[in-house]
Amino acid sequence: MIVLIILGVLLLLIGGCAVSCFVLGKKAQSALSKYESHPELAGIAMAASMHPDIKVLSEDSAAGTITLKNTKTGEVLHLNIAQIKSGEYEQSLQQLFEGQKVSAPAESPAEPVEAPAPKPEEPKVSAAKAATMEAALAKFPAFLPAYSRAQTLTARVATSNGRLGGQYEAVSKDSPAVVAEFYAQAIRAAGLEIAEQSEDSNDYGPVIMISSYFEGGAVNVRIESQEGDQSYITADFAGVSK
């Protein structure tokens, strides 16, 4: 009879907190607070405490596991949260409580764990390309310097009709706002005015665009948020007198 009563209490505890919390009262609720991650374990532990021959050998409320032992028969029962949620434990638990040989409950599939998203790989630049880009950056005008806290991916210059133009691409861990402020200051320091500065957004955050014009030429800078909390910088200029 005691086994049936205990199992009935167990079903009450696991079946619904609305009823069990009312029955147990505030003091018991406080004692069960450690099972917040896996409240189903609370019912198993409390049912075990009501049986004179059952002892809790170990429990891990965070991992959702509990091990019980019948001190008279020596039988041991290991349960995990997947078995408890699926109800696979009930026959084995009753056998343990009644002093019978315990048949292990069927293994239930573990709860799926979401794998962390892979971090984007750092772009690789060969030594030869790095040297070529450094030479190109040395010819860039003062209003479009390389961003110091960025990895340069592209830097090239070309001459057309006696005027210089160039393109720059880089990736930085600084935010688009910080990078945009750097280029806005560089453009103003060179004596140019910001003709246009606008802000948009993509799936990863803000996208900021800056444009400036001078006699016979222009400079455009675009900084967009990229996966992995990075900023992708693309810039170009044209019409600079050599």
| Higher-confidence position of 153 and 161 | 153
- Max CA separation in the chain (angstroms): 101
What's the number of CA atoms in the CB half-sphere (13 Å) around residue 224? 11
CA 25, distance to chain mean position in Å, is 38
Which position has the token pair 């039988």? Answer: 75
Q: Which residues contact 161 (CB under 8 A, 6 or more apart)?
A: none
Which is more confidently placed, 232 or 32? 232
Q: At what angle do helices 2-15 and 90-97 cross, to 10 degrees?
A: 150
**Which residues contact residue 87 at a Cβ distance below 8 angstroms, ignoring those fewer than 6 apart?**
none
Strand partners, 56: 68
Tokens of 116: 């962390």
Domain architecture of the chain: domains with CATH? 2-97 (no CATH), 127-241 (3.40.1000)
Residue 20: band (very low, low, confident or very high) from pLDDT cuts 50, 70, 90? very low
More confident residue, 48 or 6: 48
Q: Which residues of 123-132 are buried (b: 16+ CB within 10 A; e: fewer)?
A: eeeeeeeeee
Least Cα distance to 224 among 236, 235, 232, 214 occurs for 232
Indicate whether 178 pLDDT > 80.
Answer: yes
- Alpha-carbon distance of 230 to 95, in angstroms, equals 58
Of the listed ranges 64-68, 104-108, 216-220, the one predicted with least confidence: 104-108
pTM passes above 0.75: no
Q: Is the CA virtual torsion 173, 179, 182, 183 positive or negative?
A: positive
